[in-house]
Amino acid sequence: METWKELYYFDTMSEFEPPKLAARLYLMIREGMRREKKSKVLVLCIGTDRSTGDSLGPLIGYHLRRRGMKHIQVVGTLNRPVHAMNLNETVALLKRYYPDHLVIAVDASVGAGGRVGCVTLGRGAIRPGLGVSKSLRPVGDIFITGIVSGCRSEDPLMLQSIRLGTVMQMAECISESIFLVEKLWDTAALV
């Protein structure tokens, strides 16, 4: 069985260029749709608005919904977040109502201190909550994570001390990149 190992880092705190993330994501989506035999795309934004560090996913969902995505479905926003308490139910609904969608899971993460502010893009599922020692089911065919903290902690309250400015900047960068994927889709449809 062939494994899909691929991981990219994008630094949102310095010279981040949304077109670079968008181009890589677009290629991964096309390849994923072909491999998984899916015809549509859904972005699953995971997190909660009750914790600054964990609000990255809902903020991205909020930005994407406001922009009016045409080709990509969005689940998980500030008003209707997807978090530890409803993740299993949400995944069951996705399987039932969106079976032909490739799922891009978006979530905050913790990592090495020098990587705070970086966005990771990779193939495969993510396990939400690992940074705060939660054991949740893996989700997604492709993942995007934003590294919001440089420490791994047993204490979920650690996510309360994350700077909102860092989270907002990453949310804007990731949202803009996903929105550019829509533009790439429109351009490809014209060719």
Mean pLDDT for each consecutive 10-residue tract of the chain (191 residues)?
Answer: 68 84 94 94 94 91 92 94 92 96 94 80 85 73 89 55 82 95 75 39
Give tens-digit pLDDT for 47-79.
998 888 889 999 999 999 999 888 899 999 999
**7-190 belongs to CATH 3.40.50.720:** no
Q: Is 110 helix (H, G, I), strand (E, B) or coil?
A: strand
Please tell me the distance from the alpha carbon of residue 171 to that of residue 45, in angstroms, as a whole number: 11
Domain boundaries, the chain: 7-190
Backbone CA torsion sign across 35, 38, 41, 45: negative
**Type of residue numbered 189:** A
